[in-house]
Amino acid sequence: QIRMEESGGGSVQAGGSLKLSCVGSGRAFDHDAMAWFRQAPGKQREFVAALNWSGRIPFYADSAKGRFTISRDNLKNTVWLQMDNLTPEDTAVYYCAADPDYCAGRGCQYEAEYDYWGQGTQVTVSS
């Protein structure tokens, strides 16, 4: 069974940090692009950050640039999202996703590209 499992969510005050983790199992993800999306209450799911298979080409939504860092370890089938200087606008359920087809840079921002999804982890930022 192919699974992706997020962890690391929680509640923090504005200006704080969280590091989300996502571990894949059931297949190798080392040739997949990996990404984080989020969905705030009452809003559509939106792209946050993506990283190509080698880990050398990240791409961020404007809202994440300069505050969030995506990274991965292919040997561990793991992708992380380091989130710093959080604001209440970052409150959402965060999902990791994997795209088995090649993408890099801005080509990785489209939700429809991703075949595998986790169940999400809640991030709540209070002011």
10-40, pLDDT tens digit by residue?
Answer: 999 999 999 999 999 999 999 999 999 999 9
| pLDDT for position 12 | 98
The two beta strands, 46-51 and 33-39, are antiparallel
Reduce the secondary structure of 42-107 to three states and give it as a string: CCCCEEEEEECCCCCCEEECCCCCCCEEEEEEHHHCEEEEEECCCCHHHCEEEEEEEECCCCCHHH
Per-residue pLDDT at 102: 85
In this model, does residue 61 exceed pLDDT 90?
yes
- When computed from its CA atoms, the radius of gyration of the chain, rounded to whole angstroms, is 13
How many CB atoms neighbour CB 23 within 10 A?
A: 17
Mean pLDDT of the chain: 96
- Residue 8 tokens, joined: 């690391």
Task: Lowest mean pLDDT of 40-44, 81-85, 103-107, name the range.
Answer: 103-107
- CA dihedral defined by 109, 110, 113, 117, rounded to 10 degrees? 80
**Residue 79 pLDDT greater than 90, yes or no:** yes
